[in-house]
Amino acid sequence: MIINLISGPRNISTALMYSFAQRSDTKVLDEPFYGHYLQKTGIDHPGKEETIASQEKDPEKVIRHFEELDADFDVVFVKNMAHHHEVLDWNYLKPFKNVFLIRDPKQLIASFAQVIEQPTMQDIGLKHEAELLDFVSANGAFEPIVMDANNILPDPEKGLNQLCEQLGIDFDPAMLTWEQGAIPEDGTWAKYWYKNVHNSTGFVKQKTSERSLPEHCKTLYESALPYYEKLAARIN
């Protein structure tokens, strides 16, 4: 089974990847299309050249790797960013179990702006998530799952149990905790983005989630909110 997580940045997507990495039956992959996205778009992100050099840039080869792993593991969990799909053929999504992870855009944008000061709609991924959800709903083999990060954090065990049930796999209590620090599957960009997860041992609401929205990001927030609301209306 290939579980394809489609998320925006500065969500709990990395924590969810760490959670699935604790399962003995699961192999996780960290943003395997990131290098291709950076190379194709020319967008400037921290560690850009290192990321491009570290990954396969041919999407077809990346997808074949998913399928090879699927033959060796009961579960393959792929953590993907929605905006990376801007440069992909979406048809690859059709046979997978797609999970859309969303977060209040006020929190998402305020957090993202701490790393990239002037985030754009392209950066935060909500518009892409809404479009991808429409595509998968119409063309996918499985009903897509939509979940909000803020519905997991208050009770991770309940949230993960529900997710596993929707995916048709058994919940494993090992998913609730992990050791501090990096995991081998981390991308080379982890040092720029994963500090909070590396300092954690489980799902924890960060104090920074209450960070105020920078004044210059308010227009982006107002533009992003309808996409978030559209996605939230589909929460399973």
pLDDT of residue 115: 72
Share above pLDDT 90 across residues of the chain, in percent, rounded to a whole number: 68
Look up residue 165 and give its two tokens.
């049930």
C-alpha span between 107 and 211 (Å, rounded) = 7
Report which of 17, 120, 126 is spatially closest to residue 78, judged by C-alpha positions: 17
Q: Would you state the pLDDT for residue 114?
A: 75
Torsion of CA 90, 91, 96, 99, to 10 degrees: 30
> Where residue 20 sits, what CATH number does that domain have?
3.40.50.300
Please say whether the beta carbons of 187 and 31 come within 8 A.
yes
Q: Kindly tell me the number of DSSP H helices and DSSP E strands found in the chain.
A: 12, 5
> Do 32 and 55 meet the contact criterion of CB atoms below 8 Å apart?
yes
Total domain count, the chain: 1
The residue among 118 and 70 whose pLDDT is bigger is: 70
Phi, psi values for residue 206, rounded to 5°: -80, 145
Residues 35-68 have pLDDT tens digits of 999 999 998 888 899 999 999 999 999 999 999 9
pLDDT tens digits for range 198-216: 999 998 765 555 677 777 8
What is the token pair recorded at 109? Answer: 């944008």
* Residue 178 DSSP symbol: -
Closest by CA to 60, choosing from 30, 92, 84, is 92
Q: What tokens appear for 193 in the block?
A: 């983005």
pLDDT tens profile 165-201? 999 999 999 999 999 999 999 999 998 888 889 999 9
233 in helix, strand or coil? coil
CA neighbor of 96 nearest in space, from 61, 67, 131? 67
Residue-level pLDDT at 209: 54
Alpha-carbon torsion angle 148, 150, 154, 160, nearest 10: 20
Which residue segment(s) compose the domain that 219 sits in? Answer: 2-232
Alpha-carbon distance of 2 to 20, in angstroms, equals 12
pLDDT of residue 109: 82
